């Protein structure tokens, strides 16, 4: 069920009508949440529920077994990780693996080819698998007491606002919140409303308006348009994916706030980042912190010397690329980011540049351009298309933005929205959001007006509806 669908609006209205009544007692609250979340998830395809149940039960029982047989904790942890990574490997990566194996066999002259199983990819599998793994790993590390109530566990794992596209909420953060009937105060409801409205604006107005333009540009077999055209397209894609994904996160956080719960911030204006490290501290925070805590640090982090630190970071970035999709383009995206981070660690160039006058702004622009370049491979349909677009971006002999390019693909609405989102990032980067004006009575009074206008914008400026990009991950 998509957040931007009539079905979801009806579902949410029914759910929140029942929530104040069924929220009071623990068991009824958990059962209500699990039932609603399974209905929400099963709306796509009821068979998806089997996989989440499989993944969830493995971790639920593994965590209980770790407490019951502490001497065999490691074995249960390995079983849990194998179960989770195994289901990811089968449903998400098997076709990719088989395709590459066939290619390799063909390359070495073998004529037989293994048929690809073409399994359906369950929506949001990467999100809930990682969320589920964090539970068993935290129990293994002794940082979390496992819950004995299966509904409590599944209320955490399958909670519908964040189930299919994050944020990836840690068990240590959400399970304790679910143990109590969190009062949904007027203030929380207002904060939730703000988040939901901002989220919908980002998704249905910005991302959905820009999306068809980017799709149309990438649907061209040969990117013949000018360099400036492709820079405009890549800027648009940067804001499409940001607004699509952070919009989903905002809606998820807002819905949780309406229930009385708190999900952490997942995006913190990443295009204002002044270093790649800073970017990863602002982009998909729940995933980058997951990789940091459950992969990078266990691998040794940067404690064992510079070269091992680089190696660990490259491993994490390659896996992060692969997490986003089973394709070489995503791996390439991970490699580009690992390269950026390595160069940054070795030279510390952002810090040096920031110390110069006007350097902070220059850093932000450079980081944004570097991120744009990496997005080429993230968005490209194939490795060769990514290479062709990249070549076109740097074909400075052909920079003129021709009228035919503009007329055939770009629209005034999409351009204006992109400029608006860029202006918003600049506003945040310059720190205007923290100025005293923002706390003044006028600014406080203006917020409901802004929310009201954004609701109107969501209705009248909405683009053609589309699924959230991150569902495919």
Partner 1 sequence: MNTKNSIDNRSGYLQRLSSACRERTLVAFCLAVIVGVAFGSWRHDDICGMSPGTFWVMKSNWRQCADVVLAGDSRAYRGISPAAMKKYLPDMRILNYGFSGAGFSGAYLRGLEDVLAFDSGRKIIVLGITPHSLTEGAARRNGFLTHIKKSPLEKQMLSLYEPVLHFLRPVESKEALGMLTFGRFSTHYFQEYCRDGWVAAYKLPENANEALKPYSMIFDPGKSGPVSDDIVNELIKTVAQWRGKGIEVYGFRLPTCSLMLELEAELAKFDEGTFVGKFEIAGGTWLAFDQTGYHTYDGSHLHREAAEKFSGELAQKIRAVEPK
The residues annotated as belonging to the active site are 324
Applying CB under 8 A, does 220 fall inside the site for partner 1? no
Among 21, 107, 186, 355, binds partner 1 (CB under 8 A): 186
Q: Of the ranges 17-25, 58-66, 233-241, 450-458, which one interacts with partner 1 (CB under 8 A)?
A: 450-458
Q: How far is the CB of 462 from partner 1 (least distance, A)?
A: 5
Of 82 and 453, which CB lies nearer to partner 1 in the complex structure?
A: 453
**Nearest CB to partner 1, comparing residues 254 and 350:** 254
By C-beta, is 24 or 407 nearer to partner 1? 407
User: Which of 463, 468, 470, 473 lies at the binding interface for partner 1 (CB under 8 A)?
Assistant: 463
Residue 173 or 189 having the CB closest to partner 1 = 189
Q: Which of 277, 310, 360, 413 binds partner 1 (CB under 8 A)?
A: 413
Least distance from partner 1 to the Cβ atom of residue 105, Å = 33
Q: Please identify, using beta-carbon distances, which residue of 81 and 213 lies nearer to partner 1.
A: 213
The correct pick among 141, 173, 189, 292 for binding partner 1 (CB under 8 A) is 189
- Three state DSSP letters for the chain: CCCCCHHHHHHHHHHHHHHHHHCCCHHHHHHHHHHHHHHHHHCCCCCHHHHHHHHHHHHHHHHHHHHHCHHHHHHHHHHHHHHHHHHHHHHHHHHHHHHHHHHHHHHCCCCCCCCCCCCCCCCCHHHHHHHHHHHHHHHHCCCCCCCCCHHHHHHHHCCHHHCCCCCCCCHHHHHHHHCCCCCCCHHHHHHHHHHHHHHHHHHHHHHHHHHHHHHHHHHCCCCCCCHHHHHHHHHHHHHHHHHHHHHHHHHHHHHHHHHCCCCCCCCCCHHHCCCHHHHHCCCCHHHHHHHHHHHHCCCCCCCCCHHHHHHHHHHHHHHHHHHHCCCHHHHHHHHHHHHHHHHHHHHCHHHHHHCCCCHHHHHHHHHHHHHHHHHHHHHCCCHHHHHHHHHHHCCCCCCCCCHHHHHHCCCHHHHHHHHHHHHHHHHHHCCHHHCHHHHCHHHHHHHHHHHHHHHHHHHHCCCCCCCCHHHHC
Interface segment toward partner 1; rule CB under 8 A; list 220-228, 291-299, 341-349, 444-452: 444-452
CB of 449 to partner 1, least distance (A): 6
Contact range with partner 1 by CB under 8 A, out of 28-36, 67-75, 385-393, 413-421: 413-421
Q: With CB under 8 A, what is the number of residues at the site for partner 1?
A: 25
Does residue 190 bind partner 1 (CB under 8 A)?
Answer: yes
Tell me how far, at minimum, the Cβ of 227 lies from partner 1, in Å. Answer: 24
Residues that bind partner 1 (CB under 8 A): 185-187, 189-190, 193, 197, 411-414, 416, 447-449, 451-453, 455-456, 459-463
């Amino acid at each position: 069920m998509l957040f931007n669908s009539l079905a979801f609006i009806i579902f949410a209205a029914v759910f929140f009508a029942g929530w104040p009544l069924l929220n009071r007692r623990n068991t009824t609250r958990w059962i209500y949440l699990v039932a609603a979340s399974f209905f929400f998830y099963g709306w796509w395809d009821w068979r998806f529920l089997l996989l989440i149940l499989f993944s969830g039960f493995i971790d639920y029982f593994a965590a209980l077994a770790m407490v019951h047989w502490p001497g065999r904790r490691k074995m249960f942890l390995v079983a849990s990780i194998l179960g989770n990574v195994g289901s990811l490997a089968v449903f998400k990566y098997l076709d990719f693996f088989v395709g590459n194996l066939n290619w390799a066999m063909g390359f070495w002259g073998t004529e037989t080819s293994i048929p690809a199983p073409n399994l359906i990819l369950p929506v949001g599998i990467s999100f809930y698998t990682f969320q589920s793994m964090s539970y068993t790993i935290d129990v293994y590390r002794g940082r979390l007491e496992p819950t004995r109530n299966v509904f409590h566990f599944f209320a955490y794992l399958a909670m519908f606002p964040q189930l299919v596209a994050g944020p990836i909420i840690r068990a240590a953060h959400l399970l304790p919140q679910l143990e109590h009937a969190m009062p949904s105060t007027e203030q929380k409801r207002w904060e939730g409303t703000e988040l939901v409205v901002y989220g919908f604006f980002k998704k249905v107005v910005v991302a959905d308006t820009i999306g068809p333009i980017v799709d149309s540009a990438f649907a061209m077999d040969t990117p013949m348009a000018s360099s400036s055209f492709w820079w405009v397209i890549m800027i648009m894609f940067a804001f499409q994916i940001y607004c699509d994904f952070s919009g989903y996160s905002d809606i998820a956080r807002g819905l949780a706030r309406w229930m009385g719960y708190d999900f952490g911030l997942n995006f913190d204006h990443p295009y204002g980042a002044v270093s790649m490290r800073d970017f990863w501290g602002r982009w998909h925070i729940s995933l980058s912190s997951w990789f940091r805590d459950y992969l990078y640090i266990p691998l040794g982090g940067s404690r064992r010397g510079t070269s091992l630190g680089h190696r660990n970071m490259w491993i994490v970035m390659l896996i992060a690329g692969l997490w986003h999709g089973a394709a070489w383009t995503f791996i390439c995206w991970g490699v580009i980011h690992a390269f950026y981070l390595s160069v940054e660690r070795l030279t510390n160039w952002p810090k040096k540049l920031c110390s110069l006058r006007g350097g902070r702004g220059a850093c932000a622009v450079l980081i944004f351009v570097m991120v744009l370049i990496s997005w080429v491979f993230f968005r490209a349909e194939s490795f060769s298309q990514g290479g062709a677009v990249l070549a076109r971006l740097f074909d400075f002999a052909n920079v003129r933005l021709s009228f035919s390019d503009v007329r055939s693909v770009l629209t005034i609405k999409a351009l204006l929205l992109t400029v608006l989102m860029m202006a918003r990032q600049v506003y945040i980067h310059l720190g205007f959001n923290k100025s005293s004006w923002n706390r003044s009575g006028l600014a406080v009074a203006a917020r409901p007006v802004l929310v009201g206008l954004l609701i109107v914008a969501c209705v009248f400026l909405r683009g053609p509806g589309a699924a959230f990009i991150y569902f495919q991950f």
